[in-house]
């Protein structure tokens, strides 16, 4: 879900990018899924269409989406490229946590747990 906070500090186009990357990462958007046209998304979110276009351009530059003339924009085979935004955030959160006194073991334990959960879920999905 793309949630925009106009009064926040993160640039709007960045928020759009994160939202789309988030959807891709969560599996809501799969490769070759069509994403809304810039105009439509702008109207849905109530923001400037050029800002949306800027976000799409950034995503396309990063190889996360691709566009076909006359047809629209689609999610690319993402490989590892969607991840970069999250790795940056993850790194920053890790630093904060460690700084605040959270132990390394707690962090590693959280990582293991989440990984196991998601793997089991994936297997469950593919079994159905």
Partner 1 sequence: MIEVNKVSVTYTGLRGVRIVRNKALDDVSFTVPEGSVYGLLGTNGAGKSTLMRAMGGIFRPDTGSVIIDGRDVWNNAEVKTDICYVGDELSWYERFTVGELKTYGQNCRPSFSGEAFDRMVKALELPKERKISRLSKGMRRQVVTIFGVACCTKYLLLDESFDGLDPAMRRIIREILTDEVCDNGSSIVLSSHNVTEISEACDHILLLHGGKIVESGEIDDICDRYRKIQLVGSEGNVSREMLEKAGIAVLNFMGEGCVAQAVVRGTDEEVRAGVSKLHVNPVETVPLTLEEVFIYAMREKGYGKINAEK
Shortest gap between Cβ of 110 and partner 1 (angstroms)?
24
- Out of 17, 35, 47, 76, name the contact with partner 1 by CB under 8 A: 47
CB of 71 to partner 1, least distance (A): 16
Alpha-carbon gap, residue 11 to 15, rounded angstroms:
6
Confirm or reject binding of residue 91 to partner 1 (CB under 8 A).
no
If one asks whether residue 22 binds partner 1 (CB under 8 A), the answer comes out as no
38 binds partner 1 per the rule CB under 8 A = yes
Residue 55 or 76 with smaller CB distance to partner 1: 55
**What is the per-residue DSSP string for the chain?**
-----TTSSS-HHHHHHHHHHHHHHTTSS-TTPEEPPHHHHHHHHTS-HHHHHHHHHHHHHTTSEEEETTTEEEE---TTTTHHHHHHHHHHHHHHHHHHT--HHHHHHHHHHHHHHHHHHHHHHHH-
Q: Considering beta carbons, is residue 40 or 111 the nearer one to partner 1?
A: 40
Assess 49 for contact with partner 1 (CB under 8 A): yes
Greatest Cα pair distance in the chain: 53
Applying CB under 8 A, does 39 fall inside the site for partner 1?
yes
| Under rule CB under 8 A, residue 68 binds partner 1 | no
User: Footprint of partner 1 on this chain (CB under 8 A)?
Assistant: 6-9, 11-13, 38-39, 42-43, 46-51, 54
């Amino acid at each position: 879900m793309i949630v925009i906070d106009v009064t926040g500090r993160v640039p709007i186009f960045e928020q759009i990018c994160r939202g789309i990357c988030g959807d891709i990462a969560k599996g809501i958007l799969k490769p070759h899924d069509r994403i809304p046209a810039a105009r439509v998304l702008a109207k849905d979110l109530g923001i400037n269409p050029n800002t949306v276009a800027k976000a799409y351009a950034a995503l396309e530059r990063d190889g996360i989406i691709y566009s076909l003339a006359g047809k629209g924009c689609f999610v690319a085979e993402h490989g590892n490229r969607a991840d970069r935004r999250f790795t940056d955030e993850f790194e920053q959160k890790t630093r904060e946590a460690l700084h605040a006194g959270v132990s390394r073991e707690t962090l590693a334990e959280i990582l293991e747990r989440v990984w196991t959960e998601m793997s089991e879920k994936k297997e469950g999905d593919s079994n159905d």
